[in-house]
Each structure stands twice: as C-alpha cells, then as structure tokens.
Structure 1
Amino acid sequence: MDKQAQKQEVWLRGPLPGVPPLLQPAAHALLQAGEELAGLADTFPNDLLWHKPAGLASVGFHLQHLTGVLDRLFTYADERLLSDGQLTYLKNEGSEPFPGCNYTALLHAFDRQVEASIAYFKMVEESTLTDLRYVGRARIPSTKLGLLFHAAEHTQRHTGQLLVTARMLMQQVDGIIRL
C-alpha cells in the first residue's frame, strides 16, 4: 500500500478481500478503531490507564470493554449463549486484569478480537444477515446484521470516548488543562 493510501481512513482504501459487501462498513469501522487506538500505544502513560477523570470511564475500561463487547455480540450473532468466562470478563471490565497491565497488552487483546471479528465476517453467508438473533438472558430480538452492525458502531463510540479521555489525561499530566 502506498503512503497516500495509508493516510486515508480504512473505508476509503477499498473493499476488504473475502468480506461480504454488506459487512464491509462494519469491518472498516473495526479496523479504523484499531488504527486510531494504536496511535496512542507509544504515548499514553500506563500509570494513567485506570484513572477516571471527572468520573469518566478509564482508558483501561474502554479497551477491555471494546474487546469484551465484540466477543459477546459475535457470540450472540452465532446463536450461542455467553460462557462463564465471558460473564466473568464482563464483570471485571474496568479492573486491572493482572499486575502491571499496560495499554499495549490491552490493545493487543483488542487487536486479536478485531482479527477474529474480520475472520467471522468472511464466513458469514449474506443470506443469513436478516435471520433472527437474541441478545442476553432477556432474549431481546435482533438480527445477525443488527448485532454485527452494533458491534461496529459501539466500537466506534467507545473508541471516541477513549481518545477524548486519554487526551484529557495527557493534557493534565503536561500541565495544560483546556476546557
């Protein structure tokens, strides 16, 4: 890929091989989020990972949540119930998963989940996208497409929140507080 193409947002780089046309926007959104989050990997101070400025969710929470939500929504899209491990992960989002956990470790977990999501997209038969699916124990009705689209838009929403929180924290560290 040439330098110009690398500067463009993912959706402007063309279709992703093997991903059905109706799932291209969702795949592009997930990959875009990954690129934007990777931009902080070398600059975000790990000691701020669990800080909650003004009561906002921490950067660490957002990275964990992004990973967990993708896993859970794709589980529902596949007509499966959440495992005990998934429920435990959900319960612990926002808590340091291991001593010395850092931004890069959480980013790698998210990247692996995005890779799994793109692989899932490549296996989807477009004819199944409008099939009924259920969310959670309450079995709230949706469709396979609804779940996969929500996974992408939810990822974009939390990516934006993470980036704003990270910028706010980094400006406070630099002694520059701008409101």
Structure 2
Amino acid sequence: MANKPEVWLRGPLEGIPPLLQPVAHALLQASEEVNELMSSLPEILLWVTPAGLASPGFHIQHMTGVLDRLFTYARGEVLTEHQLTKLSQEGKMPEIEYSITTLTETFNRQVNDAITQLSQTDELTLTEKRGVGRAQVPSTVVGLYTHAAEHIMRHVGQLLVTTRILQG
C-alpha cells in the first residue's frame, strides 16, 4: 500500500454520486488501512488493551457497528434488536473468540455494503432530515454519511496507535 496513492488521489469512484465521493474515498481508505494494520498483528494481541487504550478487536467491532448503525439511520430506519445487542457487546471479549480474519472480513463487508448504499443514494435526498438514536436527535442523510466517514477514520488512527504500542 505504501506505493499506492491514497484512495482519494486515485480519481472518482464509478457509480458513486459526486457529492458522496469523499465519504466513499474515506471508507475505502479505512478498509485498506485496517487490513494492512491487522495483517501483521499477532492473534494473541487482538483483545489486549495497552496503557488503557481500547483493544484492536474493539476498534474493528466498533467501526463495523458504527457503519451499520449510521447507514441504517441514513435510510430512515430504526435499529433492530440485533443491532442493539451487537452494540452492547462492542469491546467485550466474545464467548466464541473472533479471529483477526473474521473481524476484518466483517468490517470489509460492512464497508462494501456502505459503498453500495452510497451508490444508490439520490443526491437530492442528502439534506433530508433523519433521526438518530432512541431520542431521534436531528441530523440529515449527508450528516450521517459524513459523520460515519469521520468516525471511522478517527478509529483507524487510534487503531494505528494501539497496534504500534502492542508491537513495540
């Protein structure tokens, strides 16, 4: 990946509306960086929390969940019981331990689902109001998409710090 330019420098993504290109670029960049970071992490370090930081496993679970939840709200839907259960389990060691491969594949699928949703979004709907959470805090479709991209990239940065500490 060091030889490739960042996703946003590779040009427009086919099928993504122009106003949503930055969101799609950020999500694809996050996916590439997560895969690269996790490719060299020993499995035993997946749930370690160095110096009080969140574990790599938490970051990947959380990023996957954030995309799922925020893109659900962008569609004008409420979260399902399954999504709420997954939210309550983020950061906890699962009973059946996930592997790095399982977590990264799940994250990559969620990114792909998000890219598909972006490709199907009519730009005329971007300013439509959407409620967030049980309190239905007001946002918009574009606000949810933008926050999802920003939130994911922030966690990629935190994942980078955590994995560097863990690997010395």
Code of the residue aligned with 1:160 in structure 2: it is: G
Q: Which residue pairs with 1:67 in the alignment?
A: 64
Which of 9, 12, 15 does residue 12 from structure 1 map onto? Answer: 9
Name the Cα RMSD after superposition. 1.4
Q: Which residue pairs with 1:102 in the alignment?
A: 99
Q: Which residue pairs with 1:51 in the alignment?
A: 48
Code of the residue aligned with 2:109 in structure 1: it is: R
Code of the residue aligned with 1:83 in structure 2: it is: T
Q: Distance in 2 between matches of 1:106 and 1:31?
A: 16
Q: Which residue pairs with 1:89 in the alignment?
A: 86
TM-score by length of 2: 0.96
Q: Distance in 2 between matches of 1:160 and 1:133?
A: 28
Write out per-residue CA displacement over residues 146-167 of structure 1, whole angstroms, 9 at most, x where no aligned residue: 0000010000000110111011
Aligned sequence identity (%): 57
Q: Distance in 2 between matches of 1:37 and 1:89?
A: 20
Which of 133, 138, 161 does residue 135 from structure 2 map onto? Answer: 138
Q: Which residue pairs with 2:108 in the alignment?
A: 111
Q: Distance in 1 between matches of 2:95 and 2:110?
A: 19
1:160-171 map, 5 Å = 160-171=157-168
Q: Which residue pairs with 1:154 in the alignment?
A: 151
Q: Which residue pairs with 1:176 in the alignment?
A: none
Runs of 4+ off more than 6 Å: none
- For structure 1, the 5+ residue unaligned runs are 172-179
Deviation at 1:95, TM superposition (A): 1.8
Q: Does 1:77 align with 2:111?
A: no
Code of the residue aligned with 1:93 in structure 2: it is: E
Q: Does 1:39 align with 2:36?
A: yes
Between stretches 99-108 and 62-71, larger displacement belongs to 99-108
Code of the residue aligned with 1:21 in structure 2: it is: P
TM-score by length of 1: 0.90
Which protein is bigger by CA-based radius of gyration?
A: 1
Q: Which residue pairs with 1:123 in the alignment?
A: 120
Secondary structure of the structure 2 residue equivalent to 1:39: helix
Write out per-residue CA displacement over residues 103-160 of structure 1, whole angstroms, 9 at most, x where no aligned residue: 1210000000000000000100000000011100011001000000001000000011
- Count of residues in correspondence between the two structures: 168
